[in-house]
Structure 1
Amino acid sequence: MTEIKLYKSPWKAIKLLGLTIPLVAVGIWLILRNESSLLDRIMGWIGVPFFGFGFFLAFFHMFDKRPQIIINETGIWDRTTKQDLISWNLIKNAKPLNIFGQKFITLTMDKSFKSRNKQYRWARKLSKEVGSSGLDLQLSQIKINPMTMTKFIKEMIKTDKQNRQGLIDKYFDNQ
């Protein structure tokens, strides 16, 4: 059984690092320059740790070698969903979702599916407002086209188990 493992893109982490470096530098400049007012220094001290956290986040994403999504003929697993392997038989539909530039695929699940991720009422309401069904695969850190991934998932849920391996090979032959 072939498994396809999708990893975080290091270029996303490099972009985050490239955005945080100038902001931290401005904060340090506000703190160290002689003619800074008290407000400038306060803003510098707020900005440096806030944007400096981006350094740690970028390095974590850059050197995190764990797979984000694993796909095989039995199901799909996403590390961010806090679920076990999700069987293709339990997925009823999939649709792409874009929330402020963050890419997701929201999965509509069978009634027999038991989610391990319990949400507060306000979070469920917010999820419904943005078009989420409650179980979302996060694609923002992965270099993959959300439309292609959605099409792949829809074909996998319609295909019988013995033909799924061929479908995986068709979509991920260059991986």
Structure 2
Amino acid sequence: MRKLVIRKSKKTAAIVTVAGFALGIGGALLLQYAGEEVVGWLFIITAAFTLIYGFGSLFDRRPQLVLTVEGITELFTIREEIAWEAILHADDLFYRGQYIVRLLLDRSYKPMSVRPSWFWRFDRLYAQQGLKAVYIRTSGLEMNARQLVGLIRRMTAADAAERVDVLKAFAGRRDKR
């Protein structure tokens, strides 16, 4: 095994879909029995958007992250493989209600499609230190931010021969769940 593909979580998508149905039923009950039209319609509108997101996530089986022996690829914003050797530090942070994985890259490593991030103040600080930051959102993925950071740290610490074993061990643990 030389590649680990991470997709959107089916479990999270199913929970969001069930919550959407519950919101819709709650809104209909508020409209019918409580006479609360504004709140009932707000529940129904929220339920519609929740169901759209839930069904979209449930049937979206595109890869979100691909981890290989050579590097990591985030397929929506970066779309270019970042070599393990270029990653100097990896950690997770909580920002505006979601967990994000932050990768600090050596400034000399310049992938073509890594754009400035929405943390522009931090980007300026990192640039002064000769670093480039890349942020990966982990909400709704099959693994959480801590697991991903742990895996990235193990992959950056391992040499090329050990990385295959690290990927196999992690995939084996993930399949047992």
Q: TM-score, normalised by structure 2?
A: 0.75
Structure 1: segments with no counterpart, 5+ residues: none
Alignment of 1:50 onto 2:28: no
Alignment of 1:13 onto 2:13: yes
1:172 aligned counterpart, secondary structure: helix
Q: 1:28 to 1:125 in 2, by over 3 A?
A: farther
CA distance in 2, matches of 1:119, 1:144: 23
Please report how far the alpha carbon of residue 156 of structure 1 lies from its aligned counterpart in structure 2 after TM superposition. 1.7
2:114 counterpart residue number: 116
Please report how far the alpha carbon of residue 72 of structure 1 lies from its aligned counterpart in structure 2 after TM superposition. 0.5
Deviations 1:100-151 (A, max 9, x none): 663332111111335533445xx534999xxxx8522333323335434323
2:91 counterpart residue number: 95
What aligned pairs does 1:1-175 form with structure 2 within 5 A after superposition?
2-33=2-33, 36=35, 40-99=36-95, 102-112=98-108, 113-114=110-111, 116-119=114-117, 123-125=119-121, 134-144=133-143, 146-174=145-173, 175=175
Amino acid paired to 1:159: A
Q: Are 2:117 and 2:123, in contact at CA under 8 Å, matched by a contact in 1?
A: no
CA distance in 1, matches of 2:79, 2:41: 39
The runs of at least 4 consecutive aligned structure 1 residues that moved more than 4 Å come to: 125-128
Q: Are 2:114 and 2:134, in contact at CA under 8 Å, matched by a contact in 1?
A: no
Q: Give the CA RMSD over aligned residues.
A: 2.9
Amino acid paired to 2:107: K
Q: Are 2:10 and 2:58, in contact at CA under 8 Å, matched by a contact in 1?
A: yes
CA distance in 2, matches of 1:134, 1:12: 28
Please report how far the alpha carbon of residue 59 of structure 1 lies from its aligned counterpart in structure 2 after TM superposition. 0.5
Identity over aligned residues, as a percent?
22
CA distance in 1, matches of 2:166, 2:10: 27
Amino acid paired to 1:168: L
Structure 2: segments with no counterpart, 5+ residues: 125-131
Amino acid paired to 1:140: S
Q: TM-score, normalised by structure 1?
A: 0.75
CA distance in 1, matches of 2:10, 2:123: 28
